[in-house]
Amino acid sequence: MSVGGTGKTPLVDYIVQHFLLQNKKLATLSRGYGRSTAGPQIVSMESTATEVGDETRMYKQKYGDQLLVAVAEKRKAGVELILKTQNNTNLIVLDDAFQHRAVKAGFSILVTEYNRPFFRDFMLPAGNLREAKIGRHRADLILVSKCPELSSEDKKRFQKALHMNGTPIFFSRIVYDKLKSFAHHSISDSIKNVLLVTGIGNPAPLHAYFKKNYRVEHLEFRDHHAFSAKDIRAIHEKFDTFASR
């Protein structure tokens, strides 16, 4: 229901991994935020982030032929293209489609962030909600994302505030792995200084994690930022001064 930063992308990735392990024939469908193209399109390994969007490019790069990835502004047209391209599809995971009523999903998951829940928010432009809070009742399951350690009483209080009697509610958290190089090699535990570069909806939890474990400087770009050569030079310059300390 909210604009950006709730943790939908990690959830989609988790669902994809779960069902691929069960040998299901999968597809993902999203708008392809920020792409330069229009209309329904199947994402290939040659597709660029500019053409299809950064998140969809990430899915394809990670899963390759295991996962059919599609983009479409109109999700109904995207579903039709997927079924035409891969007619033995068992499951289509729609990323960020809660407001797309033209497609009647078999199961809807509403993701809300623990520290920024929809019931404390307001509709755009006063807040970040895309629709009225009553829309929550279309959800088959509520996933509360980015949770700290919670007691049973904490969970009960949050569940009561949701006003979703009868709807399953799950609490989740992000567990960060150790730092790795771009070549996927482990990085020494002796590293203390970190330059954090983000371009995501809500980098605050990630920044907080790094502040707890490292001396960190943060270069924050907007969600889905299209990095330019100028940006890359600025990152290099910041890193050079940062690393020389």
What per-residue confidence (pLDDT) applies to 109?
94
CB atoms inside a 10 Å sphere around CB 12: 20
State mean pLDDT over 85-107. 88
Helix (H, G, I), strand (E, B), or coil: what is residue 167? Answer: coil
What per-residue confidence (pLDDT) applies to 184?
67
CATH of domain 8-171: 3.40.50
Return the C-alpha torsion angle 144, 145, 146, 151, nearest 10: 30
> Which residues, listed in sequence order, are joined to residue 69 by a DSSP beta bridge?
28
What are the residue boundaries of the structural domains of the chain, listed by start?
A: 8-171, 193-243
Q: pLDDT tens digits, residue range 213-242?
A: 888 999 999 888 888 999 999 999 988 887
Q: pLDDT tens digits, residue range 46-78?
A: 999 999 999 899 999 999 999 999 999 999 999
Q: pLDDT tens digits, residue range 25-47?
A: 999 999 888 888 899 999 999 99
